[in-house]
Amino acid sequence: ILNVEQSPQSLHVQEGDSTNFTCSFPSSNFYALHWYRWETAKSPEALFVMTLNGDEKKKGRISATLNTKEGYSYLYIKGSQPEDSATYLCAFHTGGFKTIFGAGTRLFVKA
Protein backbone atom coordinates (compact mmCIF):
# COMPACT_ATOMS: atom_id res chain seq x y z
CA ILE A 1 0.00 0.00 0.00
CA LEU A 2 1.45 3.35 -1.01
CA ASN A 3 1.33 5.86 1.79
CA VAL A 4 2.21 9.54 2.12
CA GLU A 5 2.91 10.88 5.60
CA GLN A 6 3.06 14.53 6.54
CA SER A 7 4.31 16.02 9.77
CA PRO A 8 3.46 17.81 11.85
CA GLN A 9 -0.32 17.54 11.65
CA SER A 10 -0.68 21.16 12.73
CA LEU A 11 1.58 24.01 13.67
CA HIS A 12 1.05 27.31 15.45
CA VAL A 13 3.72 29.96 14.90
CA GLN A 14 4.14 33.68 15.45
CA GLU A 15 4.39 36.15 12.61
CA GLY A 16 8.01 36.34 11.51
CA ASP A 17 8.89 32.79 12.55
CA SER A 18 10.38 30.47 9.96
CA THR A 19 8.97 26.98 9.79
CA ASN A 20 9.22 23.75 7.86
CA PHE A 21 7.11 20.66 7.22
CA THR A 22 7.99 17.17 6.12
CA CYS A 23 6.44 14.87 3.55
CA SER A 24 7.49 11.20 3.37
CA PHE A 25 6.56 9.10 0.37
CA PRO A 26 7.46 5.76 -1.21
CA SER A 27 10.89 5.75 -2.85
CA SER A 28 9.68 3.53 -5.70
CA ASN A 29 7.38 4.31 -8.65
CA PHE A 30 8.17 7.99 -8.32
CA TYR A 31 6.92 10.32 -11.06
CA ALA A 32 6.33 13.68 -9.38
CA LEU A 33 5.79 15.25 -5.97
CA HIS A 34 3.33 18.11 -5.59
CA TRP A 35 2.83 20.63 -2.84
CA TYR A 36 -0.54 22.36 -2.66
CA ARG A 37 -1.73 25.21 -0.44
CA TRP A 38 -5.35 25.07 0.66
CA GLU A 39 -6.71 28.20 2.28
CA THR A 40 -10.03 28.08 4.07
CA ALA A 41 -13.02 28.56 1.73
CA LYS A 42 -10.79 28.44 -1.33
CA SER A 43 -9.62 25.73 -3.68
CA PRO A 44 -6.27 23.95 -3.20
CA GLU A 45 -3.63 25.52 -5.43
CA ALA A 46 -0.37 24.04 -6.61
CA LEU A 47 2.73 25.56 -5.03
CA PHE A 48 5.38 23.31 -6.51
CA VAL A 49 5.64 20.37 -8.87
CA MET A 50 8.92 18.53 -8.34
CA THR A 51 10.18 15.75 -10.53
CA LEU A 52 13.96 15.36 -10.11
CA ASN A 53 15.96 14.11 -7.16
CA GLY A 54 17.70 17.06 -5.58
CA ASP A 55 15.16 19.55 -6.95
CA GLU A 56 14.88 22.78 -5.03
CA LYS A 57 12.07 25.17 -5.86
CA LYS A 58 11.35 28.63 -4.51
CA LYS A 59 8.40 30.98 -4.70
CA GLY A 60 8.87 34.14 -2.67
CA ARG A 61 9.36 33.13 0.97
CA ILE A 62 8.40 29.52 0.36
CA SER A 63 10.79 26.86 -0.86
CA ALA A 64 10.83 23.09 -1.17
CA THR A 65 13.40 20.35 -1.55
CA LEU A 66 13.09 16.82 -2.87
CA ASN A 67 14.96 13.60 -2.12
CA THR A 68 13.48 10.76 -4.17
CA LYS A 69 16.09 8.19 -3.10
CA GLU A 70 15.09 8.36 0.55
CA GLY A 71 11.50 9.43 -0.11
CA TYR A 72 11.08 12.83 1.53
CA SER A 73 10.41 16.45 0.72
CA TYR A 74 10.65 19.51 2.94
CA LEU A 75 8.62 22.69 2.61
CA TYR A 76 10.10 25.81 4.20
CA ILE A 77 8.41 29.10 4.93
CA LYS A 78 10.71 31.97 5.85
CA GLY A 79 9.30 34.79 7.98
CA SER A 80 5.74 33.44 8.23
CA GLN A 81 2.90 35.89 7.71
CA PRO A 82 -0.76 35.56 8.70
CA GLU A 83 -1.68 35.10 5.05
CA ASP A 84 0.43 31.91 5.03
CA SER A 85 -2.16 30.31 7.30
CA ALA A 86 -3.48 27.35 5.33
CA THR A 87 -3.33 23.60 5.02
CA TYR A 88 -0.32 22.42 3.04
CA LEU A 89 -0.88 19.20 1.14
CA CYS A 90 1.80 16.92 -0.21
CA ALA A 91 0.85 14.62 -3.09
CA PHE A 92 2.83 11.75 -4.61
CA HIS A 93 2.13 11.14 -8.27
CA THR A 94 2.97 7.74 -9.74
CA GLY A 95 2.21 8.67 -13.34
CA GLY A 96 -1.06 7.92 -15.05
CA PHE A 97 -4.06 8.88 -12.98
CA LYS A 98 -2.86 7.98 -9.51
CA THR A 99 -2.06 10.69 -6.97
CA ILE A 100 -1.73 9.85 -3.29
CA PHE A 101 -2.26 12.66 -0.83
CA GLY A 102 -0.95 13.13 2.65
CA ALA A 103 -3.36 14.30 5.35
CA GLY A 104 -1.83 17.77 5.27
CA THR A 105 -0.14 20.13 7.71
CA ARG A 106 -2.38 22.85 9.04
CA LEU A 107 -0.42 26.06 9.67
CA PHE A 108 -1.71 28.87 11.86
CA VAL A 109 0.29 32.11 11.86
CA LYS A 110 -0.56 34.53 14.63
CA ALA A 111 -0.01 38.26 14.07
Which residues fall within 8 angstroms of residue 96, CB to CB, at 6 or more apart? none
Q: Which range, of 11-19, 37-45, 56-64, 69-77, touches another protein by CB under 8 A?
A: 37-45
Phi-psi region of 83 (alpha: psi -120 to 50; beta: other; left: phi over 0): alpha
Q: How far apart are CA 92 and CA 24, in angstroms?
A: 9
Q: Which of 11, 25, 30, 34 binds another protein (CB under 8 A)?
A: 34
Q: Which of 28, 60, 70, 97 binds another protein (CB under 8 A)?
A: 97
Q: Which of 86, 102, 107, 109 binds another protein (CB under 8 A)?
A: 102
User: Closest approach of Cβ 84 to another protein, in Å?
Assistant: 19
Q: Does 95 bind another protein (CB under 8 A)?
A: yes
User: Closest approach of Cβ 47 to another protein, in Å?
Assistant: 10
With respect to another protein, which residue has the nearer C-beta, 46 or 79? 46
Q: Which residues pair with 96 in a beta bridge?
A: none
